[in-house]
Amino acid sequence: MSDDAALLFANEAFYHAFRTRDLAAMERLWSAHPSVTCIHPGWRVLHARDDVMASWKGILDNADAPPIACREPRGHIHGAFGLVLCYEVIGGSVLAATNAFLLEGRDWRMIHHQAGPCELKPAQLVAPDPEPMQ
Amino acid sequence: MSDDAALLFANEAFYHAFRTRDLAAMERLWSAHPSVTCIHPGWRVLHARDDVMASWKGILDNADAPPIACREPRGHIHGAFGLVLCYEVIGGSVLAATNAFLLEGRDWRMIHHQAGPCELKPAQLVAPDPEPMQ
């Protein structure tokens, strides 16, 4: 797998964990570094891994939250650092997101996430690839 | 100057260029890499340096824009990659921001910026240090 494909795969793993409310997967895909960071929409900045993971537990435990989908992910690699920028569709709204990763061994691990509201409508985004035939 | 101080200095240079509408300084402090990226509040994602710099020209040329102030910047260094997370106070509103930098030679150069609305009020933020006595 190319570096770029591996980076986008890590980004997709993040949204898969988000969509399936899989806190254990979310724990694994974030770096173990104590100062990973996160800015959820509207929230104050979270600067410590414990606070970031506690925030994900609260979000993933909320059974009423609408499902999330990632659209138009694009990766930018700078050495051992990777940025994926994408849109999130959630409850009929669009957010724009920054997902930052570090290459740790062979794996891209998340070190930062920010999402915030975007003026686009879901219909203005490129449709996702269809699911492969079974 | 320590790495951490140099990273925060680069972040302050970004807000100084923003505040003083100094497009030439903004050009210099961004990396020359063609795929630097930016997510302005509400905007679609910008993926190319030309588009990012054109967006800053439009913003800095707007003489009616209220002044911007940076509050509570905190840096996180991962090798040659640095993240500064902070709040922006602009027109009585607070935004939360991600500013990403790469160490190029001895200088931290910006490679990505995202800002989005935050629920905090300006009075809830730590006041800036007073200006030094002349």
Does some domain include residue B88? yes
User: Residue B16 contacts by C-beta under 8 Å, 6 or more apart in sequence?
Assistant: B22, B25
Does some domain include residue B96? yes
Q: Which amino acid is at B38?
A: C
Does some domain include residue A95? yes
Q: For chain A, give the secondary structure using H, E and C.
A: CCHHHHHHHHHHHHHHHHHCCCHHHHHHHECCCCCCEEECCECCCECCHHHHHHHHHHHHCCCCCCCEEEEEEEEEEECCEEEEEEEEEECCEEEEEEEEEEEECCEEEEEEEEEEEECCCHHHCCCCCCCCCC
Q: Give the pLDDT confidence score for residue B64 in this predicted structure.
A: 87
Q: Give chain A's mean pLDDT.
A: 94
Shortest CA gap B96–chain A (Å) = 7
Query: What are the DSSP E strand ranges found in chain B?
Result: 37-39, 68-78, 81-90, 93-104, 107-117
If one counts the domains in chain A, the total is 1
Does some domain include residue B73? yes
Find chain A residues with C-beta within 8 A of B116's C-beta.
39, 41, 96, 114-117
**CATH number for the domain including B40?**
3.10.450.50
B98 to chain A: closest CA residue = A114
Does some domain include residue A133? no
Whether B16 has a pLDDT exceeding 60, the answer reads yes
Which residue is listed with tokens 């994900």?
A56
Please tell me the distance from the alpha carbon of residue A110 to that of residue A29, in angstroms, as a whole number: 6
Does some domain include residue B100? yes
The per-residue DSSP string of B82-103 comes to EEEEEEEEETTEEEEEEEEEEE
Contact between chains at A96 and B44 (C-beta distance less than 8 A): yes
Shortest CA gap B25–chain A (Å) = 23
Does some domain include residue A128? no
Whether B134 has a pLDDT exceeding 60, the answer reads no
Contact between chains at B42 and A119 (C-beta distance less than 8 A): yes
Shortest CA gap A112–chain B (Å) = 9
**In whole angstroms, how far apart are CA B68 and each of A44, A122, B82, B102, B112?**
18, 31, 22, 24, 18
Residue of B41, B44, B102 with shortest CB distance to A78: B102
Retrieve residue B10's tokens. 């680069």
Contact between chains at B96 and A33 (C-beta distance less than 8 A): no
Q: Give the pLDDT confidence score for residue A129 in this predicted structure.
A: 67
Shortest CA gap B133–chain A (Å) = 32
Average of pLDDT values for A82-87?
A: 98
pLDDT of B61-117, one tens digit each? 998 888 999 999 999 999 999 999 999 999 999 999 999 999 999 999 999 999 999
pLDDT of A100-129, one tens digit each? 999 999 999 999 999 999 999 999 999 876
Residue of A35, A116, A117 with shortest CB distance to B76: A35
**Residue with the larger pLDDT of the pair A132 and A121:** A121
B121–A contact, CB cutoff 8 A:
no
Domain range for residue B88? 3-120
| B37-39 vs B107-117, strand pairing mode | parallel
Please tell me the distance from the alpha carbon of residue B75 to that of residue B38, in angstroms, as a whole number: 19
Whether B23 has a pLDDT exceeding 60, the answer reads yes
Does some domain include residue B8? yes
Burial per residue of A78-100, b for 16 or more beta-carbon CB atoms within 10 angstroms, e otherwise = beebbbbbbbbbbeeebbbbbbb
Whether A80 has a pLDDT exceeding 80, the answer reads yes
A121–B contact, CB cutoff 8 A:
no
Count of beta carbons in the 10 Å neighbourhood of residue A46: 21
Whether B131 has a pLDDT exceeding 80, the answer reads no
